[in-house]
Amino acid sequence: MKTFLTTSVLALSLATAASAEGKLSLYHWFEYIPQELLDKFAAEYDVEVTMDTFDSNEALLAALKAGKMGSYDLAVPGDYMVKIMGDEGMLDTFEPSELSNFGNIEDKWLDVDFDPGRKSSIPYQWGSTSFSVNKEVYDGPLDSLSLIFEPPAELKGKINVLDTSGETLTLASLYLGIPQCSSDREQLKQLNALVQDAKPDWASFGSDVAKDVLVSGDAAAGMIWSGFSAKARAEGAPIEYVFPKEGMIVWMDNVVLLKDAPNRDNALKFMDFLLEPENAAAVTNYAQYTAGVKGVEEFLDPEVANSPESNPPADAKGVFVEACAQDVQEMYDAIWTNLKK
């Protein structure tokens, strides 16, 4: 009897859930969208929203390749991953006319190399990847990637680097001034030697802990994403985010429409929803990056709008991570494995 009751209650609640107008299934980064915003969309459009999360662009690709295509409507890949997914035929396209807020996209993010003409994607947030330094531990000039790759005595053994080959090897390449996806042997040997020599000075490799190690003081310097650094600062870490003279990584995360999306209409509604300045600003206030949408300024918290991490000096240089060809990528993989063997 008890079992019967439980089953009926379960069936009832399932039935209630299914009575929402429709569904929307998101595949998103961890800690990247406020729950209130999802609730707001669900209430406004009477749509049941479900979300799974991933922790790297590569993990997103791996999950979709391993058979998750067709179960999600939208995903949020970074710039180079949009291109890879497009090349793999994983993205659906839409017409600008299908999104009433398409015109809200900032002009500079409208025609991007990774999705010319924005046929499959809209901007979500953009920011940079560089590093932050604890000013109580090191009080010298903060202007160069040498602080990570050839660190001064104060920082030796107290550095955390991101645990992804793409970000760490790209920053190393910027420091050496060699192009990304280089297949030049001398340059690759140089890159290999640089990270090999730097490794003894590094305390740890970690991406999801990048903020925590700076807050706790386990690391005195660490590669980090701009918004994560702002959050670490807000949590009390005496750190400064560095805009290195050699350059930094600039990235943009984008909402893409997946091929075989089970709820294409709701997916487009959600994209339109995210292009509303108020909603884009809600994401920015939460994640502390920068929206690629016009008119968000009036909705931003002042401390987010004025954060030093989101307002690089005019002469700061940034590059997008490039997707390398297979034979070149294999060499970078070998350098990474060699580094961690």
Measured between alpha carbons, how far is 248 from 242 in angstroms, rounded to an integer? 9
58 binds another protein (CB under 8 A): yes
Residues 172-201 that bind another protein (CB under 8 A): 185, 188-189, 192, 199
Q: Which of 100, 216, 306, 311 binds another protein (CB under 8 A)?
A: 216
- When the beta carbons of 52 and 265 are compared against another protein, the nearer one is 52
Measured between alpha carbons, how far is 35 from 172 in angstroms, rounded to an integer? 36
For residues 135 and 239, the answer to whether their CB atoms sit within 8 Å is yes
- When the beta carbons of 2 and 185 are compared against another protein, the nearer one is 185
For residues 63 and 27, the answer to whether their CB atoms sit within 8 Å is yes
Residue found under tokens 């429409």: 257
CB of 180 to another protein, least distance (A): 13
Taking alpha carbons only, the member of 181, 172, 165 closest to residue 146 is 172
Measured between alpha carbons, how far is 124 from 8 in angstroms, rounded to an integer? 41
**Does the annotation flag 31 for ligand binding?**
yes
Q: Can you tell me whether residue 25 is helix, strand or coil?
A: strand
Query: Which phi and psi angles does 131 have, rounded to 5°?
Result: -150, 160
331 binds another protein (CB under 8 A): yes
Residues 251-280 that bind another protein (CB under 8 A): none
235 binds another protein (CB under 8 A): no
Residues near another protein (CB under 8 A), total: 42
Q: Which of 78, 166, 244, 292 binds another protein (CB under 8 A)?
A: 166
- The two structure tokens encoding residue 186: 């001398």
Residues 118-157 that bind another protein (CB under 8 A): 157
- The two structure tokens encoding residue 153: 């005595």
Separation of first and last alpha carbons in the chain: 59
Residues 73-92 that bind another protein (CB under 8 A): 84, 88
Taking alpha carbons only, the member of 328, 320, 337 closest to residue 81 is 320
- When the beta carbons of 18 and 325 are compared against another protein, the nearer one is 325
**Does the annotation flag 45 for ligand binding?**
no
229 binds another protein (CB under 8 A): no
Query: Which phi and psi angles does 63 have, rounded to 5°?
Result: -65, -40
CB of 252 to another protein, least distance (A): 19
In angstroms and rounded to an integer, the radius of gyration of the C-alpha atoms of the chain is: 22
Q: Which of 26, 27, 56, 275 binds another protein (CB under 8 A)?
A: 56
**Binding site members for spermidine:** 31, 80
Per CB under 8 A, residues contacting another protein are 56, 58-59, 61-62, 65-66, 84, 88, 157, 160, 163-166, 185, 188-189, 192, 199, 202-206, 209, 216-218, 326, 329-338, 340-341
